[in-house]
């Protein structure tokens, strides 16, 4: 007999283990993602659109989907778990949330209700939490460079047979600091068209989150489906990747993207995975003779920095958030909130 599982806004995986282990899925607009703060309307709409797409995807796979909207009190996991218990569900399944507050709420609520939840590995990241804990065990200081070398050698990414880095260096960051030429036109970016999921999400956001920050923009849309996400990634590889390296740190007034991939929103909700990105990036680079500084620079963001920050968050995040390491005593000045610091990048 198959189980019941719950899925959160950042777990919209195409190859989701819960599809094979569960017959019923609770797809939850969890409180921490929708109502903890007055999140920007664009964030709310993106979550709503991608989740409604995912609802249709799961339904198409033959699963029963119970969609819990943010206005439903069961969207708070601390109330959903007791409800599941009352419904006779004693061993629900879910994917590791990589979210300190959410994970703690799940653990504490399950314990209080005598529920033994089954937790699965999170494909949102290449590494497991256990692997990161082993690597950093006994280290007083966490260095990204050490971790990045470990990632490259352990996963055989851009290394020679003797274990040395391809090109003779672990990082080509020193080559990736060119200014963007004044007479150079930034690559054209083709955004996804408004789809049925976004149309519904815009209406939903305006109806239920009218006082939230920001405004909705119908021309600057992120992909909300698997196909759109893959097409967006391919567009980056074909039109912006070749010069990603040299202009990685460039800033141009009025340009938001330049040669960057803008994969983070889709990557962070599971519409595309880091493993797919790495595999396809390396394949594309080999076939199209992409410069090593672009390839290494991009791979470093995915398997280096992203995985490193996740490890720091899980192992030291609570300590970092509560210690006040620098001993600050003054409040953040109003100018940082209203954009009047006089520092253009901050104010804009």
Structural domain contains residue 229? no
Q: Residue 155: give the domain boundaries.
A: 129-189+240-322
Q: Which of 144, 175, 127, 209 is nearest to 296 (CA)?
A: 175
Contact 244, 297 (CB under 8 A): yes
Q: How many domains does the chain have?
A: 2
Residue 25 sits in the same domain as residue 144: no
- What is the token pair recorded at 229? 């996400």
Give a yes or no: residue 179 inside a domain: yes
Q: Model confidence at 40, in pLDDT bands (50, 70, 90)?
A: very high
Overall pTM surpassing 0.75 (yes/no): yes
- Pairing state between β 93-95 and 118-120: parallel
**C-beta separation of 77 from 102 below 8 A:** yes
Residues 159 and 266 in one domain: yes
Q: In terms of domains, do 138 and 267 share one?
A: yes
Q: How does pLDDT run across 118-133, given as a tens digit for each residue?
A: 999 999 999 999 999 9
Estimate the crossing angle of helix 77-86 against helix 100-112, to 10 degrees: 30
Same domain, 250 and 271: yes
* Residue 1 in this model has a pLDDT that exceeds 70: no
37 and 156 belong to one structural domain: no
User: Residue 143's domain is classified under what CATH number?
Assistant: 1.25.40.80
Residue 27 belongs to a domain: yes
Domain end, chosen from 120, 148, 172, is at 120
Residues 191-242: pLDDT tens digits? 999 999 999 999 999 999 999 999 999 888 999 999 999 999 999 999 999 9
Q: What pLDDT digit, counting tens, does each position of 66-89 carry?
A: 999 999 999 999 999 999 999 999
Residues 72 and 110 in one domain: yes
Q: Are residues 116 and 137 in the same domain?
A: no
pLDDT at 174: 85
Kindly state whether residues 171 and 93 are assigned to the same domain.
no
């Amino acid at each position: 007999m198959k189980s019941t599982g719950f899925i959160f806004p950042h777990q919209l995986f195409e190859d989701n283990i819960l599809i094979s282990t569960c017959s019923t899925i609770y797809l939850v607009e969890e409180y921490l993602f929708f109502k903890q703060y007055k999140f920007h309307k664009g964030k709310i709409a993106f979550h709503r659109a991608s989740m409604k797409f995912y609802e249709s995807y799961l339904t198409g796979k033959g699963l029963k989907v119970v969609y819990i909207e943010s206005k439903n009190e069961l969207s708070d996991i601390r109330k959903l778990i007791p409800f599941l218990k009352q419904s006779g569900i004693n061993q629900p399944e879910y994917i590791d949330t990589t979210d300190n507050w959410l994970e703690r709420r799940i653990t504490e609520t399950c314990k209080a209700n005598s529920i033994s939840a089954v937790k699965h590995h999170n494909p949102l990241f290449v590494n497991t939490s256990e692997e990161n804990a082993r690597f950093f065990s006994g280290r007083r200081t966490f260095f990204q460079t050490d971790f990045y070398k470990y990632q490259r050698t352990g996963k055989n990414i851009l290394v020679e047979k003797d274990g040395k880095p391809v090109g003779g260096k672990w990082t080509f960051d020193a080559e990736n600091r060119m200014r963007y030429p004044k007479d150079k036109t930034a690559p054209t970016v083709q955004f996804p068209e408004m789809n049925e999921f976004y149309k519904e999400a815009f209406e939903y956001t305006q109806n239920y989150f009218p006082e939230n920050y920001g405004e909705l923009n119908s021309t600057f849309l992120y992909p909300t489906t698997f196909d759109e996400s893959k097409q967006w990634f391919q567009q980056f590889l074909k039109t912006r990747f070749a010069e990603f390296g040299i202009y990685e740190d460039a800033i141009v007034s009025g340009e938001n993207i330049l040669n960057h991939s803008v994969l983070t929103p889709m990557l962070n909700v599971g519409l595309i995975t880091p493993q797919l990105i790495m595999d396809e990036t390396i394949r594309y680079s080999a076939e199209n003779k992409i410069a090593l500084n672009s390839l290494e620079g991009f791979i470093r963001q995915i398997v280096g920095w992203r995985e490193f920050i996740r490890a720091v968050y899980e192992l030291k995040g609570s300590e970092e958030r509560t210690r006040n390491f620098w001993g600050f005593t003054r409040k953040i000045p109003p100018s940082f909130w209203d954009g009047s610091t006089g520092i253009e990048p901050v104010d804009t």
